[in-house]
Copies of this chain bind each other. A is one copy, B any other.
Amino acid sequence: MARIRLGMVGGGKDAFIGAVHRIAARIDGEFDLVAGALSSTPEKARESGALLGIAADRAYGSFEEMAEREAARPDGIEAVAIVTPNHMHAAPAIAFLQRGIHVICDKPLTATMEQAEALAAAVEASDALFLLTHNYTGYPMVRQAREMVAAGNLGTLRVVQVEYAQDWLTEATTGKQAEWRTDPARTGAGGSIGDIGTHALNLACFVTQLSLEALAADLQSFVPGRPVDDNAHMLLRFGGGARGMLWCSQVAPGNENSLRLRVYGDRGGIEWAQEDPNYLWFTPFGEPKRLLTRGGAGASGAAAAASRTPGGHPEGYLEGFANIYLGAAQAIRAAQAGERAAVLDLLPGLDAGMAGMRFIAAAIRSSRADAAWVAP
């Protein structure tokens, strides 16, 4: 089977997430990166393209040019990965969707609700797929958790505890990553809530299949002069009566990338932590706690389908990310055959993206109203 021809917008030298997308796209051998608008600086775009083995005539200086010229080639890209800062998601995504090119976009959806709505319209108007890399949903044990909840292993859900704690912004920020992620013009109005809070919410909703009905948020900017939040505390109310809490922080020393989810129902509870992703704790009420391992005796079909190695061979962040790309490849090939791939049920897309945008807006609105309840 021929590899899917992939382009990339953003992700030039020194970019973090662009390199992650490229590895994720390579792991299963389903994509070939053949074109790029890797930087808004033309020279850097060319250099980055050369380093990545992109032909010189397909290392574009702008996404507009890339969209136009690739759409015109018989061997043009079939899909594009968008890995720019948040404020630069909507425009390229729309440009490629309008040309029928599938889009794999980094999260959050956009920097502003206006951009989000424009993008939503483009997605709805296009036959092409739009996928959002809420990559934590790609972890095998996260998919198993979702499957277990759906199977009723936890009974009726009551309590959802989710948190995403980091410490890299504990002090006033420097460096490329820190700069754009704390600049409202590029990152959007949300700081930690947009960068990691959306991941936390998405993970909770992906696993529980609950919808968020209301939140009460208390946002903080602990570092003096920081224009966006760097810590947030929220109460959550879900459809069906479950309640929850969400904490996200970029100022919690000792936390690197501590995304953790705990879900409790009237029949059992589960716990999962991103930094130790091959484990899923499961306690059926009244029985001993079990440590389910990816590939082990308690692993489900959902986990197996998202795994590449037997149990005991730790898979990590890149493999989870690659599961989004693998799903994208399956969905794209199905779409090319005029079909809808079942894996799309597992892949975050526009809905997840809009939910994230509404979450950001609601959190800000609630916090400004002294943590009043707000429907997202």
Q: Which residues of A contact B (CB under 8 A)?
A: 1-3, 16, 19-20, 22-23, 26-29, 51-53, 154, 158-159, 161, 163, 166-167, 170-171, 216, 218, 220, 222, 231, 233-235, 237, 243-245, 247, 249, 251-258, 262, 264-271, 274-278, 281-293, 295-298, 308-319, 370-371, 373
Contacts and interface: CB of A to CB of B under 8 A. Distances in A.
B313 A247 contact: no
Contact of A254 (B19, B243, B277, B281): B281
B22 A29 contact: yes
5 shortest interchain CB distances as A-B pairs: A257-B312, A256-B312, A254-B283, A288-B298, A314-B316
Nearest to A20: B309
A233 B243 contact: yes
Given A53-B2, A285-B167, A308-B23, A235 B218 contact: yes
B216 A235 contact: yes
B291 A256 contact: no
B245 A159 contact: no
A375 to B, nearest CB: 13
Given A216-B216, A276-B314, A288-B292, 18 more contacts: A16-B309, A29-B53, A159-B222, A167-B283, A216-B218, A216-B235, A231-B243, A233-B245, A235-B371, A245-B245, A251-B266, A253-B284, A254-B271, A288-B293, A289-B291, A314-B317, A315-B318, A316-B319
A308 B276 contact: no
A270 B51 CA distance: 38
Number of identical monomers bound together in the oligomeric complex: 4
Contacts of A53: 1-3, 29
A291 B291 CA distance: 7
26 contacts: A3-B53, A23-B27, A23-B308, A158-B251, A167-B269, A171-B266, A218-B237, A231-B243, A233-B244, A235-B235, A251-B266, A252-B264, A254-B268, A254-B270, A254-B283, A254-B289, A256-B293, A275-B312, A277-B314, A288-B292, A290-B291, A309-B317, A313-B317, A314-B316, A315-B317, A316-B316
Contact of A159 (B51, B52, B249, B292): B249
Given A235-B371, A258-B312, A318 B317 contact: no
Contact of A297 (B19, B270, B287): B287
Given A23-B27, A316-B316, A319-B318, A289 B293 contact: yes
Most chain B CB within 10 A, of A256, A281, A318, is at A256
